Amino acid sequence: MKPMLPFTRPTIDEETLQEVLEVLRSGWLASGPKVKAFEAALSDYFGGRPVRTQTSATASLEHALLLCGIGAGDEVIVPAMSFVATANVVARVGARPVFVDVQLDSRNIDLDQVEAAITPRTRAILPVHFAGLPVDVDRLYAIAERHRLRVIEDAAQAIGSSCRGRRIGSFGDLVCFSFHPNKNITCIEGGAVVGGSPEEVRELELHRFHGQVKSGPDEVDTLFAGGKANLSDVAACIGLGQLKRLEEFTTRRRALAARYFERWAQDPPLRLPARGEEGHNWHMLTALLPLERLRLTRRQFIEAMAERGIGVGVHYPAMHLFSAYRAMGYHEGQFPNAERIGRETVTLPLFPAMELADVDRVVEAVTDILRGTTR
């Protein structure tokens, strides 16, 4: 019996584990020198732009919205298909998420439909670089400039990606990254906001620790009711070790993705995602099941793969069909591409520790299962 092949798994080396032990022994576990070092390393990676970390990309996105003064009565344009945090953060600051359909193969927000969704209440566009495939940022920012809107990029899946030779995060307005365990680099949990004016960077620091400022060893003031989302030194230590290997991880992911496309170059049994340009970091490889031609459901496909020792994910359901957003008036039939993706999507294994033979194993299993159940 071959070992279970999950759809993703983090790679944390022994050197990083030993450095974590040193942090634990130091007694400085909350935000401290490792957080400062991690933020400095990220800033260097993004060409010197300011970086402030948080405990999750969800917190990063929410804080970015607050920086922009977005709240009750405002609207923010978001894709209809993403992890639900993309819309939740908008609702949490009191604004309304305005959904726009996505492109079927890139899974990215359909920029052809964005301008039609802009109203006098629109304050920002919040695009997602889905699976690390960059949105057309030049066109995106042209739309935003034309309508005087802020852009908050949900780059949770896009560290290591680039668009026309420029690293995602090295330019643009406010760009938010995730260091969740299933991302291309991890802090176990963590996020970061890249960009912002000096005043906005200072406000980010306030939002992540209670809105407090200290003016002396015994003097403190609270400027507003901030939350708590400061990264720990333990998490930052892991992030430093991961960042050193980001290019290595990205190169490996691209090789694994290329193997999938090579093996399925002719007559693939499912619909593969857009390959994009060379700057794609291949955070995930999501494909669509041709359910209308199959005699099995997606659940049955996932179970059949599990029987062969292969894990499959689902990324993601269409957000507007969740109860929270149906309650806002959204309904089935509004965003057909997002809804089709939500019904048909499956995420196949892709992570740096995989071998090319693992890709072959997945391809053979998928092909055998689907071609044996085609109507």
Q: Which residues are the active-site residues? A: 183
Q: Are the C-beta atoms of 52 and 193 separated by less than 8 Å?
A: yes
Q: Are the C-beta atoms of 140 and 151 separated by less than 8 Å?
A: yes
Distance CA 253, CA 61 (A): 26
Q: What is the Cα Rg of the chain in Å?
A: 21
With both helix axes pointing from N to C terminus, report the angle between 246-263 and 356-371 in degrees, rounded to the nearest 10: 40
Contacts 24+ apart (CB under 8 A), 208-216: 208/52, 208/54, 208/55, 208/59, 208/63, 209/31
Count of all residues that appear for the chain in the document: 375
Element (H, E) at 241: helix 233-244
Q: Which of 45, 38, 30, 14 is nearest to 191 (CA)?
A: 38
Distance CA 187, CA 60 (A): 14
Read off the tokens for 191: 């996020």
Q: Are the C-beta atoms of 80 and 320 separated by less than 8 Å?
A: yes
Task: Name 125's bridge partners.
Answer: 77, 151
CA dihedral 22, 24, 27, 29 (to 10 degrees): 120
Strands 150-154 and 174-178 turn out to be parallel
SS3 57: helix
How many other C-beta atoms lie within 10 A of the C-beta of residue 165?
8
Read off the tokens for 285: 């490889």
Element (H, E) at 234: helix 233-244
**HSE value, Cβ hemisphere, 13 Å, CA-based, for 225:** 0
CA dihedral 169, 175, 180, 186 (to 10 degrees): 30
Residue that has been written with the tokens 């179970």 in this structure: 303
